[in-house]
């Protein structure tokens, strides 16, 4: 577990990721202006009343020798208890601040160099930054 966010009157949001995952997510874009870090975000996992929002990313800095494609790797995961707009704003704000704080170069601008895709979850798509 990396972080637990508690807000008055709301269920907690639990962030699960490692430093290495964040470093890899940032590395897949740094130093090459032609690459974008593509994030996939999905709310398909229900653990009873708990949702798991999973973030995956395509690491464009790596190419598989067999398929000549870039691998999709696991990024941060978030445990939460509703699928509301406010919850997703909290999740994406946390994700953005985590990525911003772990980038050691000013060449990476997250707002223009990250492409986000989802499964059209209404609360999620409204909250994209």
Per-residue pLDDT of 47-59, as tens digits, reads 888 999 998 888 8
pTM of the model: 0.70
pLDDT digits (tens, 9 = 90+) for 94-117: 888 887 765 443 333 344 555 555
The residue length of the chain stands at 129
Q: Is 101 helix (H, G, I), strand (E, B) or coil?
A: helix
Task: Give the CA distances from residue 91 to residues 22, 56, 78, in Å, rounded to whole numbers and listed in that order.
Answer: 15, 14, 7
Which pLDDT value is given to residue 44?
Answer: 65
Task: Give 75's Cβ-side CA count (13 Å radius).
Answer: 27
Phi, psi of 125 (to 5 degrees): -65, -30
Q: Give the percent of the chain with pLDDT over 70.
A: 67
Q: Give the percent of the chain with pLDDT over 90.
A: 14
Q: Is 28 helix (H, G, I), strand (E, B) or coil?
A: coil
- To the nearest 10 degrees (0 to 180), the angle between helices 85-101 and 19-27 is 80
Q: Which residues pair with 54 in a beta bridge?
A: 42, 77
């Amino acid at each position: 577990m990396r972080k637990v966010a508690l807000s008055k009157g709301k269920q907690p949001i639990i962030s699960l990721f490692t430093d290495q995952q964040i470093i890899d997510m940032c590395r897949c874009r740094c130093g090459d202006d032609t690459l974008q870090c593509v994030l996939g975000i999905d709310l398909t996992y229900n653990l009873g009343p708990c949702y798991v929002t999973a973030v995956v990313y395509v690491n464009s800095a790596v190419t598989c020798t067999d398929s000549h494609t870039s691998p999709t790797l696991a990024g941060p995961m978030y445990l939460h208890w509703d699928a509301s707009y406010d919850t997703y704003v909290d999740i994406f704000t946390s994700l953005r601040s985590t990525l911003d704080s772990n980038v050691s170069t000013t060449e990476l601008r997250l707002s223009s160099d990250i492409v986000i895709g989802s499964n059209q979850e209404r609360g999620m798509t409204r909250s994209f930054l």
